[in-house]
A and B are shown apart, each in its own frame.
Chain A
Amino acid sequence: MNPSDSRHPWQRLAAAARRLPDDRDTAAPYGFATRVAALAMASERVRVSLLERFSLRAMGIACLLMVAIFAANYSAIAGAFTDDSLVPGDPVAEMLDGSGS
């Protein structure tokens, strides 16, 4: 006999178990909803503030790195703007020079 058969011992036990009334209260216990709501809102705030804190810290570090890189390479960067003459020995410069004459 299969347990899906209504005469199977399982089905008769299940039918008897169903007859047992469950009269336990289903309302939230006193203070439960307040506690859960407060915890949920607080944990959300912690997550947001952590994100804020880490992103601000990352931005600060990125700014410092940018300043350091700029300082270390200042001469090269400044030279790139001032030195606009063609480099001697550069094949492109020589070619341009040749075509001009």
Chain B
Amino acid sequence: MADDQSFDLAGCLDRVRQRDQAAARELVEHLHPLVIRIVRSHLPRRVAEEDLAQEIFMKMFTRIGQYQGAVPFPHWVSRIAVTTCIDHLRAQKRRPEFRWADLSENEAEVLDSVMTNENDVAANDSFAAHELVHKLLGQLKPDDRLVIQYLDLEQKTIAEICALTGWNTSLVKVRAFRARRKLRKLFEELKRKERS
């Protein structure tokens, strides 16, 4: 959504409702950055990001008649994107177990370092930290994972998460609490396994 100011979203939506294919293409191009960011941050294993983005856009066009304008259109689309990603994550019933043995040498070093000392992770270990974070997030339930990802990785506020997901404040807080409790248990378990 690079040219937010110049893009006439309302006009484009009107034309899409009149089944104008060129307007539909413009709408996809305009919303692609928003959708692809959501897809990339919540992409399930073995699902191609382009396929998932296409599914989201198809849902958007199918439901476009139901859009009443109660929320900004990009928020409405982001809710479709979020629920589609969650549905895909839920479909992957089995979550791979998080084990020391499955970590790369660098990831194991970074994890060991954050658990044994209070220093920040070195800048050149950011990639390993990123991989570790996503492996840890993979242990959470899809809804809880989404909330903690928005809070801790994308540093969004509770209000922003509510707007993006359509969930209420208490639901977001409950999911964040549940995710943090699970993460705490996970770290305790990892420490115990490391010692043993």
Contacts and interface: CB of A to CB of B under 8 A. Distances in A.
Interface of A: 2-4, 7-20, 22, 24, 26-29, 32-41, 43-44
B114 A13 contact: yes
Given A35-B54, A41-B21, 5 more contacts: A9-B114, A9-B187, A16-B120, A17-B134, A26-B37
What secondary structure prevails in chain A residues at the interface with B?
A: helix
A12 B126 CA distance: 10
- Nearest 8 A/B pairs, CB to CB: A16-B129, A16-B121, A40-B61, A37-B24, A26-B33, A9-B114, A28-B32, A33-B28
B160 interface: no
Contacts of B127: 20
B141 interface: no
B29 A14 contact: no
Nearest to B115: A9
Given A26-B36, A27-B32, A34-B25, A2 B184 contact: yes
Given A36-B28, A38-B21, A13 B58 contact: no
Interface string B114-127: 11001011010111
B25 A15 contact: no
B54 to A, nearest CB: 6
Given A2-B180, A7-B118, A13-B121, A32 B50 contact: yes
Nearest to A34: B25
Interface of B: 19, 21-22, 24-29, 32-33, 36-37, 40, 50, 53-54, 57-58, 61-62, 110-111, 114-115, 118, 120-121, 123, 125-127, 129-130, 132-134, 136, 152-153, 155, 180, 183-184, 187
Nearest to B118: A7
A7 B114 CA distance: 9
Contacts of B183: 3, 10
B54 A10 contact: no
Contacts of A33: 25-26, 28-29, 32
Contacts of B50: 29, 32
B28 A32 contact: yes
27 contacts: A2-B180, A3-B184, A9-B111, A9-B114, A12-B120, A13-B110, A14-B153, A16-B120, A16-B129, A18-B153, A18-B155, A26-B32, A26-B37, A27-B33, A32-B50, A32-B54, A37-B21, A37-B25, A37-B27, A39-B58, A40-B24, A40-B58, A40-B61, A40-B62, A41-B61, A43-B61, A44-B19
